[in-house]
Amino acid sequence: MRNKEWRNNFADRLLKFGFSIIRLANNFPKTPAGFAIASQIIRSATSIGANFVEAQDASSIKDFIQKLSIALREAKETNYWLQIVQMSGLISKTLLIELIKENNEIISVLVASVKSSKLRL
C-alpha cells in the first residue's frame, strides 16, 4: 500500500473512531458525571484524527512530528477516559471492548509513526 493511500485509510479509521466515541457518549446517563466524561472523551477522541489530518500539511518534519505527538497524547488521554467509563459502569463493558481495542491499536500506530519520523530528522 502506498504511503498516501495508507494515510487516507488511517485518517478514515480515525474519523470512524471519533464517530464511534460520540455515539458511545450519547448513551451516557444524563448526570453530572455523564456530561463531564462525555465532553472530555469526545474532545480527546476527535482530536486524534484532527491532529493526524493537520500533520499531513506540516511545514517541516519537526512540525509533522509535533502534530503526530499531539495526536498520540490525545489517544492516550482517550484511553484514560475509556478506563474511567469502564470502571464507573456508565456503559456496558461489552460496548467498550472494541473501542478500547481500537484505541490501543491507534496508539501503537502513532507510536511507531512518531518513532520512524524521528529517524528522518
The per-residue pLDDT for 94 is 85
Q: What is the pLDDT along the chain (121 residues), one digit of tens a residue?
A: 688 899 999 999 999 999 999 999 999 999 999 999 999 999 999 999 999 999 999 999 999 999 999 999 999 999 999 999 999 998 888 889 999 999 999 999 999 999 999 998 8
pLDDT value, residue 1? 62
The span from the CA of 16 to the CA of 46, in Å, is 9
Query: What is the per-residue pLDDT for 103?
Result: 98
Give the Cα separation of 77 and 106 in Å (integer).
Answer: 12
- Whether residue 45 contacts residue 80, with contact meaning beta carbons closer than 8 Å, is answered with no
User: Which DSSP category does 56 fall into?
Assistant: T
